[in-house]
Structure 1
Amino acid sequence: MSARRFDLRTLLALMAGVLMVTLMGMTVVDVIGRYVFNAPLRGAAELTELLLASVIFLGLPAVALADEHVTVDLVTDRLPDWIQPWRQGLIGIFSGAILAVVAWRIWIYAAQIGGYGGATTTLRLPLAPLGYFCAACTAFGAALSLGVPLWDLYRRRKG
């Protein structure tokens, strides 16, 4: 694994870790406030949803960078070794294309939400920035899903 890939993966993992620690801390404060002081954290459910969506979509590029997508190999493990890099390359093209379409549609949806000023119910936090963040993470994941297997195929072909 190259140093650049490791650094980017570390950065993505660190960002996701910060979001997870924030999510855990907020949940602890909410539970203690709810059951000990009878005063739950205002907007905790909304913040939980927003943070959880952020963690999930931030994880997409990290998974694509490591080429560790969930796979089911009922047939593929029986194929000859020489075909595996080509299969991975084709899967990368297909996955990248599907994720690019998903990113595009999320971007459009975020623009619609921003157009009518969509916000959370309690805290009135705008939802469009989260949509744009999710679209950007998905687009980055699409590029990595396409690029990583094709780069590996290129390296194997070169020697």
Structure 2
Amino acid sequence: MTATSKKTNAGWISKIRPVMTYVLGSACLLAMFALIGLTCVDVVARYVFNSPVTGAYELTELLLATLIFLALPLTTAAGEHIEVELLDGMKSRVLKRLGTFIAGVCTITIFALIAMELIEHADKLQRREQVTDSLEIPLFIIGWLGAVSFAVSAVAAAVFSYNRFRKGA
């Protein structure tokens, strides 16, 4: 790989990352505000007017799932997942790099497998026209969001792992 192609690859990633961070971060913010607003309105309506928001429980479940799926790629790209550093005490740089490589491969593989399972599940939900109980919101939307989230997270894990491995950590 030439120096020019390395710069091009790094340039592409450095351009898309802030855009994805902004889009996903803004979507997380909207989901969080929707959760806060829904909870506040539901509590006031329930205790002041004795008339809770219809489907508030369902909407809360869906918004929480949405928030988690939107935040997963951001967490992965930032390398903010919980880690257990088993090889930290080792002096051997080779073993540390091997551990970093194995951890990266495992993370990418698990995210990719979950994405594939969610694709299959979302497709099944869509074909069966599954909806929520009271508001009848189609469930396949959350399934596809989860599938895309895990796929993007697998790519983010690959980029993060590559950068970490290259630095020798």
The residue that corresponds to 2:87 in the other structure is 76
List runs of 5+ in structure 2 lacking aligned partners.
1-13
Give the aligned residue type for 2:74. A
Shift in Å, 1:3: 6.4
Could you report, residue by residue, the CA deviation over 1:46-101 in whole angstroms, capped at 9, with x for unpaired residues? 1000000011111110011001111122x322023734444323211111101100
Q: Hey, what's the Cα distance between the residues in 2 that align with 1:147 and 1:93?
A: 11
Residue matched to 1:130: 142
Cα distance change of structure 1 residues 9 and 115 upon mapping to structure 2, 3 Å threshold: same
C-alpha distance in 2 between matches for 1:81 and 1:34: 61
- Secondary structure of the residue aligned to 1:112 is helix
How many equivalent pairs are there?
Answer: 154
CA distance in 1, matches of 2:87, 2:74: 24
Question: Superposed, which structure 2 residues align to 1:26-41 within 5 Å?
Answer: 26-41=38-53
- The letter for the 1-side match of 2:125 is I
The answer (yes or no) to whether the contact 1:119–1:125 under 8 Å persists in 2 is: yes
Q: Name the CA shift for 1:6/1:87 in 2 (closer, same or farther; >3 Å).
A: farther
What is the aligned counterpart of 1:121 among 133, 146, 165? 133
- Whole-angstrom distance in 2 between the partners of 1:99 and 1:78: 28
> What amino acid is the match of 1:35?
Y
Which amino acid is 2:153 matched to? G
Bigger drift between 138-147 and 46-55 goes to 138-147
Equivalent residue runs for 1:1-159 within 5 Å:
4-73=16-85, 75-80=86-91, 82-83=93-94, 84-154=96-166, 156=167
TM-score in terms of structure 2 length: 0.83
Task: After the TM superposition, list the runs of 4 or more consecutive aligned residues in structure 1 that deviate by more than 4 angstroms.
Answer: none
Instruction: Report the Cα distance in structure 1 between the residues aligned to 2:137 and 2:31, rounded to whole angstroms.
Output: 17
Alpha carbons 1:92, 1:147 under 8 Å: kept: no
**TM-score (structure 1 length as normaliser):** 0.88
Change (3 A) 1:88 1:125: same
Answer yes or no: is the 8 Å Cα contact 1:85–1:152 preserved in 2.
no
- Between the aligned partners of 2:110 and 2:59, the Cα distance in structure 1 is 29
> In structure 1, what is the Cα distance between the partners aligned to 2:63 and 2:153?
19
In structure 2, relative to structure 1, the CA distance for the partners of 1:141 and 1:28 (3 Å cut) is: same
Which structure's relative contact order is higher, taking Cα pairs within 8 Å and 6+ residues apart? 1
